Amino acid sequence: MSDVTFQNNVLDQLLSGKELPSFKFELEKSKGKVIGDSFGKEATVEQLPISKGIAGVSMCIEPGAMRELHWHATAAEWPFVLKGRVRTTVINPAGQTETNDFDPGDIWYFPRGHAHVLECLGKEPTHFILIFDNGYFSEFGTFSITDWIGHTPKSLLAKNFGLPESAFDGFPKEEVYFARGAVPPEAIPENLQGPRVSPPETHKFRMLAGAPHAIFKGGREWRVDSTRFPISTTVTGVILDLESGALRELHWHPNADEWQYIIEGDLSVTMFGSNGRFRTEQLHVGDVAYIPQGYGHSIENIGDKRSRMLIGFNTGTYQAIDLSAWIAGNPLDVLATNFGKPHSCSRSFCARTFSYRQINNISSG
Ligand code: MN
Ligand code: MN
């Protein structure tokens, strides 16, 4: 998580204007980088300037292809698999490696700087959404192995590996990004160096394999933070399902920014930014949205079928405060004076707020 004190002491030009900026980007309608039938589309501060704390990528890898060996200097990686199967291999600074296979509904977490590779497994393409804990991170500025080796003098490579310079003839000169070859074997092949030494904490979590974290009238959510997935110290993920007409009530997050991706349905997201600033965005399949840390917001299913949203927070410890709980948690005289209403009115408002929560609302558990 970024330094909260630092953030609060720096004037954010984008968020200090008279109007709130747009907080929506049509990610799946963008072009991104395409190689063969694989693609990567990204939402960084470039495409969605408000999203300084979190970047996102939609990636599709065709059968036999892989997102080549690389690392990220400035972000941890938290992906959710939508379609197909993925195999990942990752190394940590202790030299321990882990290779895992993923199905739809599974997630992984790679800490900042830990090198990895993503292979499409099987004969169907795979599609997944990657969340990064830094909005300035670009998926097209990663540290790729072909880029490094292709730009290092052969004499240096020869000395480094104790091999003749000719051993490096014919290597790619530029970054390959998506490497294309045979479909990987179903059984995980052995490593070049032999037996693996597993890391103490796994990088894999089967997010949708278990029951929802909470079920509400009108919705349900699966939430995974570092209490359930210990290696994920900087990202919390949520799958939020809302029935037609259901509302995730007005609330805010004291300790994190929120990044949203629409998997299914049509939603209306509101944002309150102080100083009379309020903005609404309508989101459809493939769109992303972003709510800065501490900003008030709500999420409503305005379509006629169940919606599904992937949400990422740049914290390993989930926190939220709901507006109705805040109001209900105050003395009656405070509410009466604050709103300029008689006590009786405050009391009934309070009672209604509670019954509304129980009957109609989805709120975080
Ligand atoms: Mn990566
Ligand atoms: Mn929220």
Confidence at residue 260, expressed as pLDDT on a 0 to 100 scale: 98
3-state secondary structure of 337: helix
Q: Where do we find the tokens 């990528």? A: 57
* Under 8 Å between Cβ of 313 and 262: no
| 77 is a catalytic site residue | yes
Confidence at residue 9, expressed as pLDDT on a 0 to 100 scale: 65
Confidence at residue 344, expressed as pLDDT on a 0 to 100 scale: 77
Measure 299 CA to ligand 1 centroid, in angstroms: 30
Task: Locate all alpha helices (DSSP H) within 20-91, ordered by sequence.
Answer: none
Q: Which residues of the chain have pLDDT under 70?
A: 1-10, 346, 348-365
CB under 8 Å to 80, separation ≥6 — which residues? 105, 106, 107, 128, 129, 131, 207, 237, 239, 310
Rg (CA), the chain: 23
Integer Cα distance of 136 and 251 in angstroms? 26
Confidence at residue 329, expressed as pLDDT on a 0 to 100 scale: 92
Superfamily of domain 214-360: Jelly Rolls (2.60.120.10)
Domain boundaries of the chain, sorted by first residue? 4-205, 214-360
* Under 8 Å between Cβ of 180 and 36: yes
Integer Cα distance of 19 and 3 in angstroms? 26
Compute CA distances 102 → 19, 58, 94, 332, whole Å: 42, 16, 24, 52
Integer Cα distance of 27 and 303 in angstroms? 20
Which residue in 35, 197, 202, 176 sits closest to 102, CA to CA?
A: 202
Measure 39 CA to ligand 1 centroid, in angstroms: 14
Tokens in use for 251?
């609330």
Domains 4-205 and 214-360 are alike in CATH topology? yes
| 70 is a catalytic site residue | yes
| 243 is a catalytic site residue | no
Ligand nearest to the CA of 248: 2
> What secondary structure letter does DSSP report for 140?
G
Superfamily of domain 4-205: Jelly Rolls (2.60.120.10)
* pTM assigned to the model: 0.93
